[in-house]
Amino acid sequence: MRFQKTRPIREWTDVKGIRDINGPQCPQVISPTPGFDTLQNDEDCLYLNVYVPGKISKDNQLSVMVWIHGGGFVFGGASQYKPQKIVLGGDVIVVTINYRLGLFGFLNLHDPLAPGNYGLWDQVEALRWIQKNIAAFGGNPKSVTIFGQSAGGMSVSLQTLIPSNEGLFQRAISQSGAVSFFAIAGEKAEEKTNEVLLRNTNCKRERVSETLSCLQNLPAENITEAVTLTEFVNPDNITAEIGSMTPTVDGYLIKKDLAYPENWDGGIYQFFRSIDFMSGTTDGEGNVGFFNIPQNVLTKLNVSATEAVPKSVLCKVLAPMFVQTGAGNIPSLTQEICDYYTAEGVDEQSNKVFEFYGDSWFIAPSNIMLSIHANNKENTKTFQYLFTNPSPFPLLPRELLPSWLKGAGHGDELHLLFIISRDHIPEEKLKTIDLADVDRLSMDFIQYWTNFAKFGDPNSNGLPEWPSYDNTEEQTCAEAIDNRTKTCFVTCIYQHKSISVKQCRVL
């Protein structure tokens, strides 16, 4: 099934295909981000896991939450996320799913034989399976919420813009990931990816069918090793087109570049606004960029990132790449970004560099989708959150980050939803963590998330009030630990103008 659209699984009457443990992860690259362990992987990876809270009843169907994992569309898997806290604390059913990654999930040869977006089709087929079968597990197929973080959040957002998904889910939670030009590769990026892949595999042929056959017969590791980020990024020409292994415009699921709302048609708007939508970010999203800047670029600039990240990294690398990806080579726009994200002091300027990374990749896209969703006449609800409480069990190991890097990092909310191993935390450090406070916040967080999944509204008795998103007012979300409000500015190259990005109070 390599480079082919997902097919429905046939019904069976025995236990074949049923496991009491997670299936293997999909083939993937080794993550550049520490903490993402690559477990056993296999191309036969399209498994999903159903977690139920004890006894089930067809007469008392429970709401269903479907988790789509993150990992930049190139690594990760369902087995890394153990949702028992959500299931038991919120009395819901949680389904975690695998989907194909990297080139296996998104290679687009611009031909009906290999149109791309296989990973998105995997997600859709999982949702269709849930519609057909979840009642047998005590789930309500008419109360399904999709939720995901990072690339999983981008996947969630993309699925909300595909009208053919009508009826597959009723609500969506996008955590630190929304539709943007980082979530959808442009045509030039696709061409660059294909060029590198075919050169390194020696699979370029006159006919697409022959090229595809060559790729389909290669060992899986030849595919995963054929394309790397360092090969894309040229430190001598940073605005050169770079490749991507993400969703693309395929003419089927995604008919136009959805990174730009002007490409959304009436059917897309109607479907998006027919569901309840929640989206939010952490206040230190850009921290993930610390691991993602290629070493060859830092070497070229003579920079040691652990000591400081000077303004030159922003002005000569991140800003030009951002502008090039979204709008082409526009030096004036690059300079505007460079001028805005400026601070006095070495540590302060270093944080400004990664603040831009977080604003452009995560915060601005999330706010744009929230604003569009809230501007509707449907009887659906919109909610926003900002998470500012650094995790004691972070997705990005704190000891590998410089002390000057501030804020709650990318994925720092995940320990509140999922069971995260604490085995790697030294005993002395564990003694300094107020685990009771962590558990209290986790219980509140789970109640907010599962309330939204059940009712389209995170509020309930005993929780701080969380007002719905309103385009006309500065947003205020539920207060839990830190009442800090942050307002930031980002240059929005979707429309080549500056926008004020509203933020909300925090969880």
CATH number, residue 396: 3.40.50.1820
Q: What is the DSSP string of 19-30?
A: -SS--PBPP-PP
- pLDDT at res. 203: 97
Residue 257: inside a domain, yes or no?
A: yes
Whether 460 and 332 share a structural domain: no
Poorest-confidence range of 87-91, 313-317, 399-403, 455-459? 399-403
Answer whether residue 457 shows pLDDT above 90: yes
Phi, psi (degrees; rounded to nearest 5) at 499:
-130, 150
Residue 318: inside a domain, yes or no?
A: yes
User: Side-chain half-sphere of 158: how many Cα atoms within 13 Å?
Assistant: 34
* Beta pairing class for 488-492 and 497-501: antiparallel
Q: Encoding tokens for residue 125?
A: 């087929």
Residue 153: inside a domain, yes or no?
A: yes
Measured distance CA(382)–CA(459) in Å, rounded: 13
Answer whether residue 86 shows pLDDT above 70: yes
Whether 106 and 177 share a structural domain: yes
- pLDDT at res. 488: 31
- pLDDT at res. 228: 76
Poorest-confidence range of 344-348, 427-431, 436-440? 427-431
Within 10 angstroms of residue 332's Cβ, the number of other Cβ atoms is 8
Count how many domains the chain has: 2
> How many whole angstroms from its chain centre is CA 487?
23
Residue of 155 and 340 predicted with greater confidence: 155
Whether 117 and 165 share a structural domain: yes
Residue of 113 and 478 predicted with greater confidence: 113
Q: Encoding tokens for residue 202?
A: 């020696």
Residue with tokens 């296996």: 104
Residue 390: inside a domain, yes or no?
A: yes
Whether 284 and 315 share a structural domain: no
Residue 346: inside a domain, yes or no?
A: yes
Poorest-confidence range of 118-127, 327-336, 380-389, 496-505? 496-505
CB 35 within 8 A of CB 10: no
Answer whether residue 350 shows pLDDT above 90: yes
pLDDT in tens, 215-245: 999 999 999 989 876 666 665 655 555 668 9
- pLDDT at res. 431: 83
Average pLDDT of the residues in 115-138? 97
Residue with tokens 């415009």: 249
Residue of 183 and 507 predicted with greater confidence: 183
- Most confident range (mean pLDDT) of 72-76, 450-454, 469-473 is 450-454
Answer whether residue 356 shows pLDDT above 60: yes
Last residue of some domain: 303, 325, 354? Answer: 354
The residue among 453, 454, 449 whose CA lies nearest residue 466 is: 449
Whether 163 and 257 share a structural domain: yes
Measured distance CA(8)–CA(158) in Å, rounded: 21
Q: Encoding tokens for residue 308?
A: 């400081």
Length in residues, the chain? 507
H helix intervals, 160-310: 187-201, 208-216, 220-224, 229-232, 266-272, 295-300
Rounded to the nearest 10°, the torsion over CA 50, 11, 26, 6 is -120
Whether 152 and 279 share a structural domain: yes
pLDDT in tens, 274-296: 999 999 999 999 988 887 777 77
Whether 313 and 435 share a structural domain: no
Q: Encoding tokens for residue 338?
A: 């460079």
CA geometry: angle at 308 spanning 306 and 312, to 5°?
A: 125
Residue with tokens 């389904």: 95
Whether 431 and 361 share a structural domain: yes
Measured distance CA(226)–CA(177) in Å, rounded: 27
Residue 203: inside a domain, yes or no?
A: no
- pLDDT at res. 345: 92
Last residue of some domain: 307, 327, 354? Answer: 354
Q: Which domain holds residue 431?
A: 48-184+246-291+356-485
- 16 — pLDDT class (breaks 50, 70, 90): low
Answer whether residue 501 shows pLDDT above 50: no
Last residue of some domain: 354, 378, 394? Answer: 354
Whether 300 and 175 share a structural domain: no
Whole-model pTM? 0.91
Phi, psi (degrees; rounded to nearest 5) at 296:
-65, -30
Measured distance CA(334)–CA(492) in Å, rounded: 11
CA distance between the termini of the chain = 42
Q: Encoding tokens for residue 306?
A: 């652990």
- pLDDT at res. 241: 59
Residue 38: inside a domain, yes or no?
A: no
Average pLDDT of the residues in 418-437? 81
- pLDDT at res. 54: 87
- pLDDT at res. 235: 59
Whether 173 and 85 share a structural domain: yes
Measured distance CA(245)–CA(31) in Å, rounded: 14
Answer whether residue 35 shows pLDDT above 60: no
Average pLDDT of the residues in 20-27? 83
Whether 328 and 264 share a structural domain: no
pLDDT averaged over the chain? 85
- pLDDT at res. 298: 79
Q: How far is CA 157 from CA 67, 369, 373, 459, in A?
A: 13, 8, 11, 22
- 32 — pLDDT class (breaks 50, 70, 90): low
Residue 128: inside a domain, yes or no?
A: yes
Whether 343 and 286 share a structural domain: no
Answer whether residue 383 shows pLDDT above 90: yes
- pLDDT at res. 186: 85
Average pLDDT of the residues in 417-433? 81
Poorest-confidence range of 24-38, 105-119, 347-361? 24-38
